[in-house]
Structure 1
Amino acid sequence: MEYTRLGNTGTRVSQLCFGTWRFGREAGDIVETDRQEAHELLDAAWERGINFIDTANVYGTPNGTSEAYIGEWLEEYDREDFVLASKVYFPFDGRGEPGPNDHGLGRKHIRAQIEGTLERLGTDYLDLYYIHRWDDESDIVETMRTLNDLVREGKVHYLGASTMAAWQLTKALWTSDVEGLERFDVTQPLFHAGYRDDVKDYLDVCADQDIAVCPYSPLAGGFLTGKYERADPDDPKAFEGPEGARGDIYDSFQDYYLSERGWHVLAEIEAIAEDLDATPAQVALRWLIEQPDLTCVPIVGARTVDQLDENVGAVDLSLSDDQFNRIVSARYADDGERWGHRQ
């Protein structure tokens, strides 16, 4: 495993981050990753050199299950070997029906949630604390002051921001600079090879400010693994895929990940994978790792150790400039127009 500095922080992390969104998550009658499976995957991630683990207070059914699984697992390890990230924003169902202050980025909710997160993880501090979304109802000054206090108290080392618009990220950075507060050092947008241009402004801010990018869904919900086939040349949302995969479970899969752009990018990724004797997933992840203008650490999820091994194989790949640019070019038609993502 190779390690990289996380943006402009002093912390080094593995080139891949292990995501735990599926831990304890119920989808219908299915628990996607139960406690034993979660611990086996965490063991495997650590054995393969992954020291960066991503979770959130609302992951799992009920909320907090993912953090609890990780905390139990960490009892057998040295906490200092790991870089732990969690998040705050969404309503937390651990107290029953959410009250009026049980969501968002106001001081009361942040303060309550950091204590619960630390308790479930069995640790005194987080290496990285993300705001999970932007909160229009909370003053960004109050939010950043509260987060700043958590850093000053030693409960959090660095701050991060998940999905938001480029102007919102810029406003938060400006607020921190003007008020003399800690600023965001890491971001977590939806970002994959078939989607980049839709977050270009956001990524430009990250590159300019030396902010690390840890994209979620780097394989487009599994679409860029190549396990789905197009079922209708006239309809990019028509597909065939394996039973039990995300496309089979979640109705939103088609709207988020299936598009003309996605199918063209996937075809190029598959061709490059064949040339390199690699898998499409490995090529798609390597394309992110090799982003030229910013530190990019993809968050990979896995339901099996075999899937994790495949993802880790991306660390050993190298793309030529031509291969990297072929994936970029696949987003555009012959006339230079960019294929649509959402249609």
Structure 2
Amino acid sequence: MQYRRLGSTGTKVSQLCFGTWRFGKRSDGVVETDRGEAHDLLDAYANAGGNFIDTANVYGDPNGTGEEYVGDWLAGRDRDEFVLASKVYFGFDPENPNGSGLSRTHIRRQIEGTLDRLGTDYLDVYYVHRFDEETPVEETLSTLSGLVEDGRVNYLGASSMAAWQLTKMLWKSEVHDLERFEVTQPLFHAAYRDTEEYLDVAADQDLAVCPYSPLAGGFLTGKYERAEDGSAVGPEGSRADLVDSFQEYYVDERSWRVLDEIRSVADELDATPPQVALRWLVERPDYACIPIVGARTVDQLEDNLGAVTISLSDDQRGRITDAREAEPDVE
């Protein structure tokens, strides 16, 4: 495993982050990743040298289950060897009118619960999961800065939000001399273009970028084949088979062009498509990019981790980028 600085901070993290959003998650009444499976995945990640673990207070069913799984696992290890990230925003207490958002009340309540479930007295990164239009930015940032000052949080992060919202919060931090975001977590993968302005802000401000869904919900793993109508056909039980919005969200002409190039490069390197797709992100030139992988099985995770052992040539990287940036064919 290789390590890199987390944006402009002095903390070093593994080139791939491990995401735990499936821990304790129920789909049609079935737990996608149970406690034992979660611990097997974390063991495999740590044994490979991974040290950056991403979770959230609302992961799992009920809320907090994902953090509990991670906390149980950490209890048998040296906490200080790992960089832990969690998040706050979404509703945790459905019946509580103050049970969501980025108010001082909600943030202070949630950080205590998160630390308790993780069995630690500090987080390395605390993300705002979304932008809160109902709470003054100064209230949110001053509360988060207090968590840094009292040692419960080391760095602040911003997950999904518009580029102008990220810019506004960074500006408010500077104007009011408050802690600023050092890490961002947008949706981003080799076939996705809707985060360009957001990524420009990250590059300008020297923020780390930790993309979620770096394999386009599994589309860029190469397990899907193209049907005559351009849709993706995958194995039974795959996301395309189970999730109605998959085709609309991940599959279009650009996606197929990018996947074709990723497959071609994978053949040239004797690698797999997931490894190439992840490596294209790791090698982003303008900012530290640390993709969040969320494998379901140890075999999938070990395949993903192979991305740290390969390198793309300028030509290979450029071909994938060109496929991504090419305009759609006009008939």
Tell me the TM-score normalized by structure 1: 0.94
1:160-183 CA deviation, whole Å, 9 max, x = no partner?
000011111000000000000000
The SS at the match of 1:24 is coil
Structure 1, unmatched stretches of 5+, are: none
Other-structure match for 1:259 = 252
Other-structure match for 2:29 = 29
Other-structure match for 1:11 = 11
> How far off is 1:22 after superposition?
0.4
8 Å CA contact 2:253–2:328 kept in 1: the answer is no
Structure 1 pair 149/279, CA: closer, same or farther in 2 (3 Å)? Answer: same
Q: Does 1:171 align with 2:164?
A: no
In 1, the alpha carbon distance for the partners of 2:286 and 2:95 equals 41
Other-structure match for 1:200 = 196
Amino acid at match of 2:59: Y
> How far off is 1:63 after superposition?
0.8
1:233-259 CA deviation, whole Å, 9 max, x = no partner?
xx43x2211122222222222222111
Structure 1 pair 312/157, CA: closer, same or farther in 2 (3 Å)? Answer: same
> How far off is 1:50 after superposition?
0.4
Tell me the TM-score normalized by structure 2: 0.98
The SS at the match of 2:110 is helix
Equivalent runs, 1:110-125 vs 2, <5 Å:
110-125=107-122
Q: Does 1:162 align with 2:155?
A: no
In 2, the alpha carbon distance for the partners of 1:194 and 1:118 equals 36
Other-structure match for 1:230 = 226
Which of residues 137, 143, 150 is equivalent to 2:140?
143
Structure 1 pair 107/114, CA: closer, same or farther in 2 (3 Å)? Answer: same
Other-structure match for 1:279 = 272
Q: Give the ranges of 4+ consecutive aligned residues of structure 1 lying more than 3 Å apart after TM superposition.
A: none
Structure 2, unmatched stretches of 5+, are: none
Other-structure match for 1:40 = 40
Other-structure match for 1:91 = 91
The SS at the match of 1:274 is helix
Other-structure match for 1:310 = 303
> How far off is 1:339 after superposition?
6.9
Structure 1 pair 114/270, CA: closer, same or farther in 2 (3 Å)? Answer: same
8 Å CA contact 2:13–2:83 kept in 1: the answer is yes
> How far off is 1:29 after superposition?
3.0
In 2, the alpha carbon distance for the partners of 1:122 and 1:64 equals 12
Cα RMSD (Å) of the superposition?
1.2
The SS at the match of 1:198 is coil
Amino acid at match of 1:177: E
In 1, the alpha carbon distance for the partners of 2:105 and 2:85 equals 20
Other-structure match for 1:59 = 59
In 1, the alpha carbon distance for the partners of 2:287 and 2:21 equals 25
In 2, the alpha carbon distance for the partners of 1:127 and 1:338 equals 42
The alignment covers a number of residue pairs equal to: 330
Amino acid at match of 2:161: M
In 2, the alpha carbon distance for the partners of 1:248 and 1:75 equals 37
